[in-house]
Amino acid sequence: MRESLENPHPAEGGGHFGGGIHVVGLAPGADLAGFRAAARRLIAADVAPENIVWQTEAPSLFGADSAAADGPPLRLPRAVTELIPMVVPHRDPERYGLLYALLWRVVHGERALMEVASDPLVHRLHRMRKAIARDLHKMHAFLRFRRVPGEGRERFAAWFEPDHHILEAAAPFFVDRFRALTWSILTPEGSAHWDGTLRYGPPGRREDVPDGDGFEAGWRDYYESTFNPARLNLDAMRAEMPRKYWRNMPETAAIPALVRAASARAQAMIEKEPTMPAKRDPVRAVAKMSQDEPETLDALNAIIARSEPLVPGATQAVLGEGPVGARIAFVGEQPGDQEDRQGRPFVGPAGQLLSRALEEAGIDRREAYLTNAVKHFKFTLRGKRRIHEKPTAGEVSHYRWWLDRELGFVAPKLVVALGATAVLALTGKQIPITRARGPADFGRPFEGFITVHPSYLLRLPDEAAKAAAYQAFVEDLRRVQALAA
């Protein structure tokens, strides 16, 4: 991101036009980090939206990088922080100006602006967010990998042409779905590559992806066997699966023949002797519902909230708390007694100790994201008291998919594993905290850090040892703050 706030020579581009116009140059595509930095700086300088020109061109057009310090973080409603990353990938060149106008109004008193659906600005931004959600859904549904021949190591490639700048937003989905494979996604604007590490590169070409592979015949057979002729609706099919994606999808080769035979097959189904439907298993139905791929953090939280605890007894699921896009995310073990009663993470004795340590380390808890590896409280009863019980490795594995998707939506710069259970959830390995304490590589797009869980400090019997352990914990958090900054 380049920003020019002075009067450069006209040949250098950008600059401070007459009347105090600021030109902000952002990288082509979805420059979320650049927009956030520029918005903070401009809000801090009290620059009104009408005095800003947002441009997405090559950075060299705008002179040297701005040396101005970044502005302070903005305290925004959750609805705004979740909207911004879903609008920045839109192809509309006015997207940054519209988002900044929203921020300007919110920080100048209209805190509930996102609730006013009839407001023209809010209405337009909601439409842009829906367009990005549709584009992400189509990429998740219609992208097909093909094996690249002639290479020693098995590798797969796919070609896709998104409507918007969604490659970086969509890539983590394929990391989660195809983590064991080595693959590349090529688009006209850029490429994503996974071999254990996610990297982004220059645009690709359609001809760099094979036209087919040996797996596709089996996939076509599966598609033909699941095709229901009685529910054929060509208009709905074209709306849900536009023709622009057909060339990259092996099953579409079977569609013309299936459509031609649909009428005869449907008639045969009508004439067949009816049978009683099999009784639906509600447990399996709920499990299937929980596996549906959410498109937002709110959708994921809705799935978690309505899911039954793996071990019965918990009052409710305890969801993560904090802004999407937080620089730091903290992952604990599981909710405790107070967290289960209040439905919020880290509000019990260990959470209060964590809040105190965060304050001493210079970390604003409200700007961090806090969650747990396991979403339901597990306990044993002793009289009327509910005593916390450590989750098993199987229980951690059961909740791990939710945690992966949750961190994917939040997209923190650094994730802190609080205790061994959090390390197991993030790495799939049992790693002693004393050996791994400090910066860590979780094999994810974010940086990692391992430290103790604050409940460990509460369990120490000796006051001197407890004080020393607490100071070491605060020092860990200071290192976290420095790494995230």
Q: Which pLDDT score, from 0 to 100, does residue 62 have?
A: 40
Q: Which pLDDT score, from 0 to 100, does residue 456 have?
A: 92
| Residue 176 Cα distances to 72, 400, 424, angstroms | 34, 11, 17
For residue 417, list its beta bridge partners: 331, 450
Q: Which pLDDT score, from 0 to 100, does residue 17 have?
A: 38
Cα 422 from Cα 416, distance rounded (Å): 9
Kindly indicate the confidence band of residue 205, based on its pLDDT and cuts at 50, 70 and 90. very high
Contact present, 414 and 447 (Cβ < 8 Å): yes
Enclosing H/E stretch for 140: helix 120-142
For residue 55, list its beta bridge partners: 25
Q: What is the reported pTM?
A: 0.48
Longest dimension (CA), the chain: 83
Q: Is the pLDDT of residue 192 over 60?
A: yes
Average pLDDT over residues 123-136: 95
Cα 322 from Cα 292, distance rounded (Å): 24
What rounded mean pLDDT belongs to the chain? Answer: 83
- The structural domains of the chain, with segments of one domain joined by +, span 2-137, 143-208, 216-264, 296-484
Q: Return the number of other C-beta atoms located less than 10 Å from residue 382's C-beta.
A: 8
pLDDT digits (tens, 9 = 90+) for 131-169: 999 999 989 988 888 888 876 678 899 999 999 999 999
Enclosing H/E stretch for 475: helix 463-484
Q: Which pLDDT score, from 0 to 100, does residue 435 have?
A: 86
Nearest to 83 by CA among 119, 41, 32, 39: 32
pLDDT digits (tens, 9 = 90+) for 364-398: 999 999 999 999 999 988 888 888 889 998 889 88
Residue 100, SS3? helix
The separation between CA 261 and the C-alpha centre of its own chain, rounded to angstroms, equals 42
Cα 234 from Cα 261, distance rounded (Å): 14
pLDDT digits (tens, 9 = 90+) for 304-324: 998 888 877 889 999 999 999
| Residue 227 Cα distances to 143, 218, 255, 258, 275, angstroms | 19, 14, 9, 8, 20
Kindly indicate the confidence band of residue 9, based on its pLDDT and cuts at 50, 70 and 90. very low
Q: Is the pLDDT of residue 178 over 60?
A: yes
Nearest to 439 by CA among 481, 411, 467, 409: 481
Nearest to 481 by CA among 397, 360, 392, 375: 360
Cα 20 from Cα 5, distance rounded (Å): 9
pLDDT digits (tens, 9 = 90+) for 33-68: 999 999 999 999 999 999 999 998 644 334 434 445
* Residues counted in the chain: 485
Q: What value, to the nearest 5°, has the Cα angle with vertex 311 and ends 308 and 312?
A: 65
Cα 159 from Cα 262, distance rounded (Å): 30
- The yes or no reply on domain 296-484 and CATH 3.40.50.720 is no
Q: Is the pLDDT of residue 302 over 80?
A: yes
φ, ψ of residue 409 in degrees (nearest 5):
-70, -40
